[in-house]
Amino acid sequence: MNRGALVRKLVYGLLILALLLPLSYFSQPATVAVGNQPNQAGSPGGKLAQLRTQYGISEANLGEIDAAGETIKLATLGLRGVAANILWEKANTAKMKEDWEGMRAALDQLSKLEPHFVIVWRYQAWNVSYNISVEFDDYRQRYFWIKEGIKYLQQGTRYNELEPRLIYDVGWFTAHKMGVADEKKEFRELFRVDDDEEFPAHDRQLRRQDRRDNWLVGQEYFEQAIALVEDREASIHAMNPFVFFSQPAMCQIDYAVALEEDGVFEEKARLGWTDAYDRWIKYGMREVPTSDNLIVRLAEEEAVQERKAKVIAQLEAVEPGLRDKIAGEKRSKLPPEVRAALDTPPESRTEEEHQLVYGASMSILVLHDEVAKRVEKSHREQAQKLAAEANRLEVLENVIHRDRDVVNYNYWRNRCKMEKTESALEARRLIYQAKTDYDLARLVPAQQEYEEAFRHWRKTVDEFPQFIDDTIGAESIHQALAGYADVLKQLNTHIPRDFVLKDVLFSAVRRNPTGMDLDFIRESFEGDPGLRPPGMPPR
Amino acid sequence: MQSQAVALDAPIAAEAPVGTDVVIETRNLSKIYRDFWGRQKVRALKALDLVVRRGEIFGLLGPNGSGKTTTIKLLLGLLFPTSGQALVFGKEASDVTKNERIGYLPEESYLYKFLNAEETLDFYGRLFDMPADVRRQRTAELIHLVKLDWAKQRQLKEYSKGMTRRIGLAQALINDPELIVLDEPTTGLDPIGCREMKDLILELRDRGKTVLMCSHLLADVQDVCDRIAILHQGELKELGRVDSLLKIRDVTEIRASGLNDAAKEEIRSVIARHNGQLVSMDNPTSTLEELFLSIVQDSEARPGRRARVEG
Amino acid sequence: MIIENEFPPYFEWLLAAGLTPGALWIWLLTNFLLLVAGLLGSFIFLTVRHGPAKSGDLIFKALAGVTDDVVHTSPRRVYALARLAVQEALRRRVLVGFMLFILILLFAGWFLDPGRTDPAKLYLGFVINATSYLVLFLALVLSAFSLPADLQSKTIYTVVTKPVRPSEVVLGRTLGFAAVSTGLLLVMGLFSYVFVVRTLDHAHTLTADDLAPKAPTEKGLVPPNKTGTTARHRHVIKPDQIELLAQEGHAETEPEQGHYHEITAVSRDGETEYRLGPPLGQLRARVPVYGTLMFRDRGGKPAEKGINVGNEWTYHSYIEGGSPAAGIWKFTGVTRDGFPNGIVLELSIRVFRTFKGTIDQPVLGSITLRNPTKPNEPITLKNFRAAEYAIDRHEIPAQFKDANGREIDLFRDVVSDDGELEIEIRCLERSQFYGLARPSVYLLRREGTPWINFAKGYVAIWLQMLLVTAFGVMWSTFLNGPVAMLATLGSIVGGFFVSFLQNLALNKSLGGGPVESVLRISQQKNLTEQLETDVTSAVAVMLDKILRIPLFVVSRILPNFQELNDVNYVADGYNISGDLLAIHLTTGLGYFIPVMLLGFLFFKLREVAK
């Protein structure tokens, strides 16, 4: 009996040892190199430590272990998932019951328990900055809770140093949550004078007074996130890379807009916009890998188009008229009613004919490969090469075009180019000046400044006609037009019939009648044929 | 079986010591241990009938697992009988008020090791609802009686086995009981300790106490017990006065030498004719030990029967 | 503070409050039903084994035995056994628990962030919760393992062979362990209080530079004067206070993180030094007088409730601004003797904006006082800006001028002769809403002593501990140590989730009962997804239906540990009223008695030896 017990104990002991050995091999922590002794270089540690390093979740270097987190993990006795679940539920309940501090405490515990669960950080930080902050009536408290969310994210970046999405979010919250909200004026001002030492996004020790702008700080974070991807090959996972890489430039644009809204012009605004334009162009030159396994530069769409045209022309030149011939053959195979529909000019086609044309569009398409195949044998190889190249360029062009749409590439490029012109800058300045004068009841100077501003704007839209129908940046011009109308009303006159920005005004009326005194505009342009564009409500 | 037992008890009862007070009585006392699912595991005690009278030292004898301790536990109410009754001072064993008059020394002294001797006795004194001054007096007396004055401030965990035994006895006597139940009183004691214990038991008897003890040490029983009951495998195998048990046995013993096989056969037939039973024709048995061993052998050969060694 | 479970005055609670029957009757009924069920169950069980006559006899004997035991319980024996339990506990486990507690306090800094908006609440909540978990755990271990250990080591033999009744063994243990835990709780409480006071204590530096006027920023904003940073915060000092400091030598900082400091200017060697006192107003024990709340809807008609603005949590009821909608609190017992210096009114209301409105101004509201006997003579006290998630203090002196400048005597003109007063809160901004609940508005009767309130908070922990001990001892009378501990743990965990269990039992829980939940997990369906219409689902739903019966019973029997918890009162700085304390104590006793009786019975029915 005693011998049996002894044997059993020995077997247990050996088993424990057998389990401990690989465990110690796997979990041996990494050590940091000590001072300048070359033979004391830090070891990479066991397998687990190496994996941690590889995935950038390596807070467990000896000496920088987060004791609290480790304690909590231990205290759950392996029921970490259950504990995390309970905490999550607790946070949700606390949020429901408006116990914000309780929720924040639960979040802290949660993140100590599951520090590498990036979704938790992102989701809950969003919860705090976006959902909790709006519960408060006092905008200073709203600002405080936005900051809480940012602080929470930054805590997350310390645990997940190779996670660009968290830093990206820090940038996003700092830039957009502060800078786009209805309270942006107040938030930006609070941000500027914030002396919270616990708010790393602000970091007043290191940042110059004039750099303490939420857009610029956000920009820095976006750049950090990009640096992680560039230098340390971190993954942005399912995030759209074009959106991801566009952020620093977008921040610059928003910064420049914000400057002008704050009434800062002259050199600073010019520099702001010039920088924005440069950054946007640079962004266009960046090589970005797409989901189609292509590497793309947004700026290259025109160049690709040009090259494609050239290649197609070469292909045509191999055996001129071949493409038309093939097209003719394809067409002749179609049923007569379809051919008839095709022959009808598009504007006079019936609904039925439209459908027929649509159905036939694929069958009359002549592919480059088809052309190349029919080329005379001696030139066929060359033609096939050209066709392949044309196809490749076509795909590339489509991809670039699609991705340009995602980030509105063309618009922002033109906008920056437009805004940095002297006339645009001057127009913006004058409008701001006019608004200020109007608020101070200086009506005549306001009218003069508005008209001067509109002359400058005329110059701008002549140069950049696409901004007549601008949808994104037009709000300020629309407001200016409405403000101008107000000034004139008070001065008891009307908008001159030869108003320099008549087209812009009518476009604005077409788009967005709210805030504009339509009656007043109608009075001013009684009988003008452009006055009743589609969409304008009748009298 | 029942009638047999009654018939056997009759002469013994006549030989019981003077004094008619019955202190312990068991009637058809049985105990079956069951497992978690209620299935029968062990029949630890089978239909035991016993009477212990005031002023005697009664010994329960048997090998390990024979049911002696079970009997004692049933009598003390630590176990509940499966069937039958255990009466102490005429009360059901489960009635705690009987404990006022009982002192119990368990097999090993199950005491709180973190108390010292005085605290121990004081604690048990409180359990008898004794007033403080009585407790103090009894504690001092008993510590003196078991000769532990020199160690009364030491925690029991520092005590040797003999010392623990003695303090165990002291706690059993704290209430000056009328009935003292001793489970293996001499185990773990050195020869001198054994002697002292036995003297103490006899002294208690002389003071009019009734003593029920169980032991597997035959010498102890032989030395001090007035009557014994021998148990084996949960059954009562023998019951009677120690001296008469041994005497009767002497009489029925056949001792001879130089007999041939034919003569042996003849003797067997003579015994058979007288409805007797040949137990042994070997060397003579003269001690309780021999009696005991023969009962055990008999019982193992023919389980379920009351031993008939006297014939 | 949020009081979700309001409680009536003690005797109303005990006997009857309106239509709801008193707790006493419910208690009696529950116990009676349980007794009947128990008797019936054991009768059926025993009849199967022994036949009806014997089983009736057995049951009668058991009941008579327990009654006899209870009647004959001797205080001296109980005391002896309790003392033994104390000695055992002291020699075995308690000190470890205490060391653990000290360790936790030492390392509390890791877990607690002194930079939170209300550190006092955080710290108080932490120490109380830490103490309660530790003490409960200790009570659990002590109580569940002791009897089984005694049975294992057979020391119990020498005890039960004395004239000791099972009831005395059970009661003695329970009281002994409770005494140990009580002692421990006292010490922990003391340490906790000292810990909280000491950790919260701090001062800030303040130099003449800090008080000098600041240069405006480029936008023309003048940054406020602030003290130095300690405990991760700074206090603003307003210009009028700086002036006061210069003239009279003392002033106050603005509150931050729930406290403020007093500043004194001291001249030394011709130079002025500024000293900040300890943090003030951090630990409080407000004694509120709550009124009854009635609403008026936007049409001016009386209503039970206001509007739900779409919150999942319906605690606050909302009134619309710019309409006659109002919340009207009626207070009684407002007398000149009770409030010699006038009334202090404290508001904690919510704001809900349907549009952003004026961003930099909180929503405007009004406070109106009314004598209930003269409903047509309202006196507008003042208009105020809502202070959300804060306690907004308004003083109404015995004599004051109303919003129109009239001289008003509070007790003569506003309060009725029998001490009744109505206070009406309205929101004045159109399409903005105020959220109100009964405890949102109260009269502050006086400030209680924080440490006494702290101690009262510990009474609730003490009661929890007592119940855990009782449950532990009860289970350990017939289960072995680990199983008894699990059973007790189950009782506690169940006790913490009583309301959840009740929801489950009444089928109010999303996602169905336990079997359905398992099914959902295995099929990866969320709570609201429709179950498939197959046999498995039907069986699962049916099994849950059956399971609801035991769940219902369990949810009705287990003590609600969540309700036995007053940590919020202490942490939020509100006095725990005598009524609440009495209700807790009675509830505790209500559980203690039947659990003990069960323990007696179980221990009596078991065989002590093996």
Residue of C nearest to B170 (CA): C158
pLDDT, tens digit, for every residue of C495-545?
A: 988 888 998 898 888 888 889 999 998 988 888 888 888 898 999 999 999
Residue range B115-144: average pLDDT? Answer: 92
pLDDT score, position B305: 55
CA dihedral C306→C309→C311→C316, nearest 10 degrees, is: -30
Identify the chains in contact with C, defined as 3+ C-beta pairs within 8 A: A, B
The answer to whether B285 and B294 have CB atoms below 8 angstroms apart is yes
Q: Does C359 touch chain A (CB under 8 A)?
A: yes
pLDDT, tens digit, for every residue of A206-223?
A: 667 777 789 999 999 999
For C574, the token pair is: 């509100």
Residue of B nearest to C65 (CA): B95
Task: List, in sequence order, every beta strand (DSSP E) within A267-322.
Answer: 288-289, 295-296
pLDDT category at A75 given cuts 50, 70, 90 is low
C350 contacts A183? CB cut-off 8 A: no
Q: What single string gives the DSSP state of each residue in B115-135?
A: SBHHHHHHHHHHHTT--HHHH
Q: Classify C442 as helix, strand or coil.
A: strand
Task: Return the higher-pLDDT residue of A22 and C603.
Answer: C603
Q: How many CB pairs under 8 A join B and C?
A: 77
pLDDT score, position B284: 47
pLDDT score, position B3: 37
pLDDT surpasses 90 at C365:
yes
pLDDT score, position B180: 93
- Say how many Å lie between the first and final Cα of chain A, rounded: 107
pLDDT score, position C507: 86
pLDDT category at A226 given cuts 50, 70, 90 is very high
Residue range A46-71: average pLDDT? Answer: 62
A292 C-beta neighbours (distance < 10 Å), count: 13
Contacts of B191 (CB under 8 A, 6+ apart): none
Query: Of A64-73, A424-433, B62-71, C427-436, which gets the smallest average pLDDT?
Result: A64-73
Residue range A55-71: average pLDDT? Answer: 56
pLDDT score, position B177: 92
pLDDT, tens digit, for every residue of C123-146?
A: 888 888 888 888 888 889 889 988
pLDDT score, position B285: 46
pLDDT, tens digit, for every residue of A280-291?
A: 999 999 998 888
pLDDT score, position A44: 67
pLDDT score, position B311: 33
d(CA C596, CA C474): 7
C-alpha triplet A528, A529, A533: angle, nearest 5°: 110
Residue range A355-375: average pLDDT? Answer: 85
pLDDT score, position A138: 87
Contact call for A and B: 3+ CB–CB distances under 8 Å: no
Mean pLDDT, chain C, integer: 88
Q: Does C363 touch chain A (CB under 8 A)?
A: yes
pLDDT, tens digit, for every residue of C216-275?
A: 766 666 778 888 888 778 888 888 888 888 888 888 898 888 889 999 988 888 788 888
Residue range A369-392: average pLDDT? Answer: 89
Q: How far is B253 from chain C (nearest CA, A)?
A: 41
pLDDT score, position C325: 94
pLDDT score, position A465: 85
For A170, the token pair is: 């820090």
pLDDT, tens digit, for every residue of B222-278?
A: 778 888 898 888 888 888 877 777 655 544 556 666 777 888 788 778 777 777 666
For C424, the token pair is: 């009406």
pLDDT, tens digit, for every residue of B195-226?
A: 888 888 999 999 999 999 988 877 777 778 88
Question: Which burial class, exposed, middle or buried, applies to A41 when counting CB atoms under 10 A from its CB (0-12, 13-18, 19+)?
Answer: exposed
pLDDT surpasses 70 at A201:
no
Determine which of B70, B127, B157 to mutate to test the interface with C (most C C-beta atoms within 10 Å): B127
What are the Cα distances from residue C202, in Å, to C118, C120, C196, C199? 15, 13, 12, 8
Determine which of A110, A135, A137, A264 to mutate to test the interface with C (most C C-beta atoms within 10 Å): A137
Task: Return the higher-pLDDT residue of B15 and A89.
Answer: A89
Residue of B nearest to C158 (CA): B110
Residues belonging to chain B with any Cβ–Cβ distance to chain C shorter than 8 Å: 73, 76-80, 96-97, 99-100, 102, 104, 106, 108-112, 114-115, 123-124, 126-129, 168, 171, 175
From A67, A97, A101, residue closest to C313, measured CB to CB = A97
pLDDT surpasses 50 at B8:
no
d(CA B221, CA B214): 8
d(CA C284, CA B86): 66
pLDDT score, position B251: 47
pLDDT score, position B10: 38
Q: Which residues of C touch B171 (CB under 8 A)?
A: 158
pLDDT, tens digit, for every residue of B13-57?
A: 334 444 458 899 999 999 988 877 777 778 888 889 999 999 899
Residue range B159-176: average pLDDT? Answer: 89
pLDDT score, position B63: 83
Identify the chains in contact with A, defined as 3+ C-beta pairs within 8 A: C
pLDDT surpasses 60 at A124:
yes
Task: Return the higher-pLDDT residue of A48 and C9.
Answer: C9
pLDDT score, position A42: 56
Phi, psi dihedrals of residue C382, rounded to the nearest 5°: -175, 165
pLDDT score, position B4: 37
C161 contacts B110? CB cut-off 8 A: no
Cα torsion angle, C245, C247, C250, C254, sign: negative
Highest mean pLDDT among A58-62, A447-451, B232-236, C136-140 belongs to A447-451
Residue range A124-153: average pLDDT? Answer: 91
Q: Does C160 touch chain B (CB under 8 A)?
A: yes
pLDDT score, position A71: 64
pLDDT surpasses 60 at A444:
yes
C110 contacts A71? CB cut-off 8 A: yes
B102 contacts C161? CB cut-off 8 A: yes
Residue range A125-131: average pLDDT? Answer: 93
Phi, psi dihedrals of residue B229, rounded to the nearest 5°: -125, 130
C-alpha C568: how far from its chain's center?
5
Q: Does C308 touch chain A (CB under 8 A)?
A: no
From C88, C154, C158, residue closest to B114, measured CB to CB = C88
Contacts of B276 (CB under 8 A, 6+ apart): B311
Determine which of A108, A138, A143, A183 to mutate to test the interface with C (most C C-beta atoms within 10 Å): A138
pLDDT, tens digit, for every residue of C30-85?
A: 999 999 999 999 889 888 878 888 888 888 988 898 899 899 899 999 999 999 99
Q: How far is B248 from chain C (nearest CA, A)?
A: 38
Residue range A301-313: average pLDDT? Answer: 93
Q: Which residues of B touch C164 (CB under 8 A)?
A: 96, 99, 127
From the list A450, A433, A533, the residue with the least C-alpha distance to A488 is A450
